C-alpha cells in the first residue's frame, strides 16, 4: 500500500505495518422499480492494525491504531451509483466488478481513518537540555582528536622534497 507507506516517517522503528482485514459479502432483497424483489449485494469490510506516524506535537514517531468498519452497497454501473441517495452516512456505494481491487479499497479506507492531526495521547518527556549537552561534548571531542591527528602539510612537503632527489639518483 504505497499511499499508506508514504505516511510512515522514515525514522519509524518499523516501516512494515501489518493489518488484519475481513470482508464479507451479503445480499438483501430490495424492491425494484418494476415492483419485483431483487437481491442487492452488500460488502462489509473491517480492517484493524497500527501504523507509525509523526506526532505533530513533539515530532517523534508513534504507533497509531486504526480501525475501519464499513458497509458498501455494490452496484453495477456509475449511473446506478449516482441514483442512490448520498444522505446515508452508514453505507457507501461502490461500483463492483469481478476484478474488484479489495486492497485498493482497504488502503482508501485506512487513509480516510488517519487522524487529521496525528499526535501522542500523551507525549513522552524529552530532556532537551540533556540532548544538547551530550551533542556539544561529542563535537568538542571530535575537534580535539582532529587537531592531534592532522598531519602538518608543510612537514609532508619537506619529506617529499627530501626524498625526491634521492629517488632520482643512480
Ligand atoms: Zn508526541
Domain residues for the domain of 40 are 2-113
What's the confidence (pLDDT) of residue 138?
A: 46
pLDDT at 151 over 70: no
In this structure, are 109 and 158 located in the same domain?
no
33 in a structural domain = yes
In this structure, are 65 and 90 located in the same domain?
yes
Quote the ligand 1 centre to 34 CA distance (angstroms).
58
**More reliable by pLDDT, 132 or 22:** 22
In this structure, are 43 and 97 located in the same domain?
yes
What is the rounded distance in angstroms from the CA atom of residue 14 to the CA atom of residue 30?
47
What is the rounded distance in angstroms from the CA atom of residue 68 to the CA atom of residue 26?
18
Residues near ion ligand 1 (CB < 5 Å) are 55, 57-58, 120, 123
What is the rounded distance in angstroms from the CA atom of residue 99 to the CA atom of residue 113?
25
Per residue in 41-100, pLDDT (tens digit) is 999 999 999 999 999 999 999 999 999 999 999 988 888 888 776 666 678 888 887 777
- If one counts the domains in the chain, the total is 2
Per residue in 94-105, pLDDT (tens digit) is 888 777 789 999
Cite the DSSP H helix spans in 6-152.
78-83, 102-113, 128-149
Quote the ligand 1 centre to 135 CA distance (angstroms).
22
What is the rounded distance in angstroms from the CA atom of residue 159 to the CA atom of residue 27?
91
Cite the DSSP H helix spans in the chain.
2-5, 78-83, 102-113, 128-149, 153-168
In this structure, are 86 and 147 located in the same domain?
no
In this structure, are 47 and 71 located in the same domain?
yes
Model confidence, pTM: 0.66
Rounded to an integer, the average pLDDT of 27-51 is: 91
Amino acid at each position: 500500500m504505497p499511499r499508506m507507506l508514504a505516511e510512515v516517517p522514515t525514522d519509524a522503528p518499523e516501516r512494515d505495518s501489518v493489518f488484519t482485514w475481513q470482508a464479507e459479502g451479503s445480499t438483501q432483497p430490495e424492491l425494484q422499480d418494476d415492483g419485483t424483489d431483487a437481491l442487492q449485494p452488500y460488502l462489509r469490510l473491517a480492517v484493524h492494525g497500527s501504523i507509525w506516524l509523526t506526532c505533530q506535537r513533539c515530532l517523534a514517531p508513534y504507533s497509531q491504531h486504526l480501525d475501519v468498519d464499513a458497509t458498501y452497497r455494490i452496484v453495477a454501473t456509475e449511473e446506478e451509483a449516482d441514483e442512490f441517495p448520498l444522505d446515508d452516512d452508514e453505507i457507501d456505494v461502490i461500483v463492483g466488478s469481478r476484478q474488484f481491487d479489495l486492497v485498493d479499497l482497504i488502503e482508501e479506507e485506512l487513509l480516510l481513518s488517519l487522524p487529521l492531526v496525528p499526535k501522542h495521547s500523551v507525549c513522552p518527556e524529552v530532556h532537551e537540555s540533556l540532548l544538547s549537552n551530550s551533542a556539544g561534548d561529542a563535537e568538542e571531542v571530535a575537534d580535539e582528536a582532529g587537531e592531534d591527528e592532522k598531519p602538518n602539510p608543510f612537514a609532508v612537503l619537506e619529506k617529499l622534497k627530501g626524498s625526491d632527489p634521492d629517488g632520482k639518483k643512480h
